[in-house]
Structure 1
């Protein structure tokens, strides 16, 4: 194998290792995030419905965060509009998204990914069809 090809393969391998390490640190690791003390309790034997409308609509992101891509159901959240990485109250608007069902460990992983209490808050809202779901919203800057 020629030197340029070996160099290219070594560079690609190093880049791949760095990319995987970075994605793990951001999406799955417990490092760089300490949850605030006042977060709601997550019961270990419960299942939670979560409405997602941004990066978590991508199966590969859910797989990185939760360890599985999860089945999704299309859903609509009335009274809100999408605003980049957030949703804002807006009478008459509807945010299209997906509902995923998660267990307690996956819910904690989503909280860690969203940096609950630091970057996002988790609130309970009602979908167009009347179901209650958890939704992540950016914390308001004071």
Structure 2
């Protein structure tokens, strides 16, 4: 009986932690502030094409507090690559198109961290309709790898050669080193 109680307590703690994390990341007034350079949201109905976690109904309800009246849709000329879309004329991405209010779009912007993690682009879907699509921003700390310089390679090969030779200390070198 104790094992069952501990298991239920652990499960309750995990669910509570997950709920707290979801609230902090998606709904709380902390941890995201809409960047000032972004255009204000137009006060009209919007269409949004979603292709990831927002295709799952419970996630949409938590994020938007609504279902968004989803319909299947596809975006031609793109392929999904991790959390982003990459242009590829031969590919098509399947997803959903949602009808959202300005308030729901603001909640989606918060969830996607618009201006921080994602940008919102208006693209043409395969059926010719226009819809907002969230696409990843370039990582600001991305570094390109460069080949090591010749001097660095020479230094490395000298270090490798020095460590390959056995070190034999003579009594004279130990006396000089100690003084």
TM-score (norm. length: structure 1): 0.91
C-alpha distance after superposition, 1:28-68 (max 9, x if no partner): 22311111111121133x11000001111111110110112
Match of 1:42 in 2: 41
Query: For the residues of structure 2 that align with 1:4 and 1:97, how far apart are their CA atoms?
Result: 43
Unpaired runs of at least 5, structure 1: none
- Displacement after TM superposition at 1:3 (Å): 3.5
Structure having the larger proportion of residues in helix:
2
Unpaired runs of at least 5, structure 2: 141-179
Match of 1:102 in 2: 100
Change (3 A) 1:12 1:135: same
Structure having the larger proportion of residues in strand:
1
Match of 1:131 in 2: 129
Bigger CA radius of gyration: 2
| Runs of 4 or more above 6 Å deviation | none
Instruction: Compute the RMSD of aligned alpha carbons.
Output: 1.4
Work out the number of aligned pairs and report it. Answer: 140
Match of 2:176 in 1: none
TM-score (norm. length: structure 2): 0.73
